[in-house]
């Protein structure tokens, strides 16, 4: 089960002035699942309006209804070996989104698991959060307990050219469990929990399909 307070704690560092994000990458996909355009940039180089707009996309995942829209999943042991999405996400996390080849593989895999007849965007955010210690009264102390490094991915239909609508799917990896990173788990978001994106779920928790 996801602790709602843990998610809210993360969102408090997702403001233009106090953002925990240092990089954002993404791809604009056409209705054939092909990349029309992509980008990869330091978050600090965005304009003020771009930061605000993208932060709203990223916050959709942790700010959603916990254990309803956002649920925690374990990676099965058989889904953590060679050619697994787990392995890919770990590599993307470790490079902080700076490896374009890895990002392209992620976009391709998402497109393969999301065969829709409309244009959509996949955005990926890399963040670093110094998790503060909490005293017995649960008030935050200045000392850092650990550094939580994470990525948030959102998938959105396109509202207009280069303007994604609200995300319909996304994930937070690694899971933020008990205020700590759990790389064997992932928090997955569905805007409509009554209609799961089974193709994307399989992609995340199963093996990467080789071309």
Report whether 144 contacts 129 (CB < 8 A): no
Q: Which of 89-93, 141-145, 164-168, 201-205 has the lowest mean pLDDT?
A: 141-145
Which residues, in sequence order, are bridge partners of residue 35?
Answer: 29
Residue 112 has pLDDT above 80, yes or no: yes
Bigger pLDDT: 211 or 111? 111
Task: Say if residue 85 is preceded by a cis peptide, omega within 30 of 0.
Answer: no
Q: Can you give the pLDDT at residue 129?
A: 95
Could you tell me the pLDDT band of residue 209, with boundaries at 50, 70 and 90?
A: very low
Contact 57, 123 (CB under 8 A): yes
Q: Facing residues of 94 across strands?
A: none
pTM to 2 decimals?
Answer: 0.93
**Token pair of 27, please?**
């791809």
Q: CB of 24 within 8 A of CB of 126?
A: yes
Q: Is 18 helix (H, G, I), strand (E, B) or coil?
A: coil
Encode pLDDT of 25-35 as tens digits: 999 999 999 99
pLDDT at 15 over 70: yes
CA 154 to chain centroid, in Å, comes to: 6
Pick from 92, 121, 99, 100: nearest CA to 31: 121
């Amino acid at each position: 089960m996801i602790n709602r307070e843990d998610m809210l704690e993360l969102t408090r560092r997702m403001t233009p002035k106090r953002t925990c994000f240092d990089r954002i990458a993404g791809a604009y996909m056409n209705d054939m699942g092909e990349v029309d355009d992509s980008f990869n940039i330091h978050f600090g180089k965005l304009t003020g309006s771009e930061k605000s707009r993208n932060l709203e996309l990223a916050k959709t995942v942790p700010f959603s209804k916990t254990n309803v829209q956002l649920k925690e999943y374990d990676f099965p042991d058989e889904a953590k070996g060679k050619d697994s999405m787990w392995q890919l996400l770990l590599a993307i996390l470790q490079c902080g989104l700076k490896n374009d080849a890895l990002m392209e593989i992620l976009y391709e895999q998402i497109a393969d698991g999301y065969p829709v007849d409309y244009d959509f965007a996949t955005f990926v955010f890399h963040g670093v959060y110094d998790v503060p210690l909490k005293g017995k009264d649960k008030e935050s102390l200045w000392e850092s307990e650990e550094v939580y490094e994470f990525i948030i991915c959102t998938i959105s239909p396109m509202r207009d050219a280069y303007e994604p609508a609200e995300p319909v799917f996304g994930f937070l990896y690694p899971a933020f469990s008990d205020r700590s990173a759990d790389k064997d788990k992932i928090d997955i978001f569905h805007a409509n929990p009554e209609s799961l994106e089974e193709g994307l779920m399989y992609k995340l928790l199963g093996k990467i399909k080789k071309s």
